[in-house]
Amino acid sequence: MWLTMMIAAILFAGMLAALHFGYREAEKERAERPAADAIREAPPVNPWLGPQSPWARRRTVEEVVFEVEHRIDADLQEVAHLLGWTAPENASRLYRV
């Protein structure tokens, strides 16, 4: 039994070492490339869309944060309405920070 546990521990340590060295190599390779090349090599958001589609471009962080906040507010208003706490038009004042 001890031999089996030692073999399993050695294999586990070997897998962790391979993961560590692989990650280090990938990070070293990524650091050597300029950022502009990494962006240029990135795959498109959705290859099925044409280049003129508004969803074909990458969105900025501000756009993503705005969209997430908008969805959260809509979900909170819906929950407040379903629970009967208030009318949907007044639900936004319940969650002001």
Query: What pLDDT does 18 receive?
Result: 94
Query: What pLDDT does 39 receive?
Result: 59
CA dihedral 24→27→29→35, nearest 10 degrees, is: -170
What residues in the chain have per-residue pLDDT under 50?
97
Domain residue spans of the chain: 1-42, 50-97
Query: What pLDDT does 97 receive?
Result: 44
- Tell me the HSE value of 25 on the side-chain side, using a 13 A CA sphere: 6
Distance of CA 50 to the CA centre of its chain: 24
Which amino acid type is present at position 47? P
Distant-in-sequence, close-in-space partners of 38: CB < 8 Å, separation ≥ 6: 30
Per the CB < 8 A criterion, the answer to whether 30 and 38 are in contact is yes
